Amino acid sequence: MNLVESLGAQRLLAIVRGKNPAAALRTVCTLAEAGIPAIEVSLTTADALTVIRQARAELGPDALLGAGTVRSAADAARAVEAGASYLVTPALVDGPASYGVPVLMGALTPSEIEQALARGADAIKLFPGSLGGPGYLRALRDPFPEVPFVPVGGVDAQAARDYLDRGALAVGVGSPLVGDAADGGDLAGLRARAAEFREVAAGETP
């Protein structure tokens, strides 16, 4: 799977984390049904590996289903075994790129970006994006014009528009999209937010 091409086409990565495994699974499936195919299940989710395994069975082998908050090579191995087709780290991590799936590696500073690329990152998770905002991403585009960036952290609908306008490959969106759905909350609200973020990703104005 070419993660960069897929995220470039979708422009949106949904991040699911929650305390209720069954609700997290429902959230993943609802997002997919709502037209958001690129979904990351954070390993901080309760029984995350089971959620990934069951979601893979529900969504099929071609779904863009990944594991997030991968902090070690051991995390990477377990996530890939459970069915994750890509890995997302919160920081610089040794090892994930050796498991044969694409890696979206967390970095913030120029030095960290270089180190992430040296570790085999396919794209950079700019985290926490809220620390510098869209203006910081615009500044990074000058020294790193070819690097695919996915800002994550505090990305609401307006921030998503601004990041995409400033050259982000895609945006990673957690609670502003998922809300309380992964803890057993309202799925109707999730569907409505999914529709809003899809419009943002498509470049439609509110």
Active site members:
40, 125
Q: At what angle do helices 187-201 and 157-165 cross, to 10 degrees?
A: 20
Assigned token pair, 13: 């990565």
Please calculate the CA angle 70-157-185 and round it to the nearest 5 degrees: 65
Q: Which residues pair with 171 in a beta bridge?
A: 12
Assigned token pair, 197: 């973020």
Task: Report how far residue 131's alpha carbon sits from residue 55's, in angstroms, rounded to the nearest whole number.
Answer: 32
For 197-201, the CB contacts below 8 A with 24+ separation are: 197/12, 197/36, 197/157, 197/160, 197/173, 198/12, 198/34, 198/35, 198/36, 200/12, 200/157, 200/160, 200/161, 200/164, 201/10, 201/11, 201/12, 201/160, 201/164, 201/170, 201/171
